Amino acid sequence: MRRRCLALPPEGRADLAGMLLQSLEPEKAPDKEKTLATLRDTIREAYGVDIREAKTRQQPVPDCKVIFAYLALQVLPITHTELGQWMGADHSTIHYYRERMRAALATPASDPRLVAEYKTIIEQYGKNKTE
């Protein structure tokens, strides 16, 4: 997990590392279902999108799915296949989501909307984890 955090750009790294340190006990692995549900609920609250039910390509649904998959891969020991099954997507779709988010964070000017939505979700997710 440390390697994943270090692979992020500085602003994403600081946000995610802080959340992880606050939310995870070192000797206990996170509950996948609970974490996925919390993240899904966070996106639903912020954008009104249920990433498991939404089947449209109209924004903000695709961006929400990208952000959800990226964050889930960062905070959980979960494979692309497992996450894809949970989301109702193929593992290659999850890989695409991860790479799209990485590219947007590496060069924020390339997709400012996605980066802004990511920051909103990170902020809201941090609040939901502490409640």
Do the Cβ atoms of 63 and 117 come closer than 8 Å?
Answer: yes
Read off the amino acid at residue 115. V
Please tell me the CATH code under which domain 2-130 is placed: 1.10.1750.10
Residue 105 has pLDDT above 90, yes or no: yes
Residue 129: what pLDDT?
64
How many residues comprise the chain? 131
Residue 1 has pLDDT above 70, yes or no: no
Which is more confident, 40 or 1?
Answer: 40
Do the Cβ atoms of 30 and 24 come closer than 8 Å?
Answer: yes
Residue 53: what pLDDT?
87
Instruction: Write the pLDDT tens digit of every residue in 9-37.
Output: 666 666 665 666 566 555 566 789 999 99
Domains of the chain by residue range: 2-130
The closest of 62, 74, 60 to 102, measured between CA atoms, is 74
> How many angstroms separate the Cα of 90 from the Cα of each of 1, 14, 85, 121, 128?
23, 30, 7, 23, 28
State the average pLDDT over residues 67-96. 95
In sequence order, what are the residues at sequence separation of 6 or more whose Cβ sits closer than 8 angstroms to the Cβ of residue 31? none
Instruction: Write the pLDDT tens digit of every residue in 53-66.
Output: 888 888 888 999 99
Q: Quick one: what percent of the chain has pLDDT higher than 90?
A: 53
Residue 125: what pLDDT?
79
